[in-house]
Amino acid sequence: MTGPGLSILRGVRRALGNLAARVYLTACALLLGWALLAASGESMAAVIPLFATIPTSLVLLLVLPEGTTMFLLSIALGALINAVVIGWCVRTLRRGSHPGTAS
């Protein structure tokens, strides 16, 4: 029972299994936590995690409806998508140094 959905999930799991992707996700989570704790009425602390997850979070911010929950969702999804891209890039670069491997 291997379909396209399972292969996509397997690729995401491989990409997020990379140390660089995990460090990025941890940094984004810490920045978001700090921003939520430091945010007051006029604070611009929420901009920092948004900048950490550019460009994906900005695209999601434009697509999703307005609201605090959607803002947080765009940051979380942006961090996750960027981490997958980082993991994929690291994996591809490592595979490039060993062109004989097929995995």
H-helix or E-strand containing 75?
helix 68-97
Which pLDDT band holds residue 98 (cuts at 50, 70, 90)?
Answer: low
Which pair of structure tokens corresponds to residue 15?
């990409």
Higher pLDDT, 37 or 102: 37
Most confident of 22-31, 41-50, 88-97: 22-31
Predicted confidence (pLDDT) per residue in 31-86, tens digit: 999 998 887 767 788 889 999 999 999 898 889 898 889 989 999 999 999 999 99
pLDDT at position 14, please?
Answer: 82
Q: How much of the chain is in helix, strand and coil states, percent to nearest 5?
A: 75, 0, 25
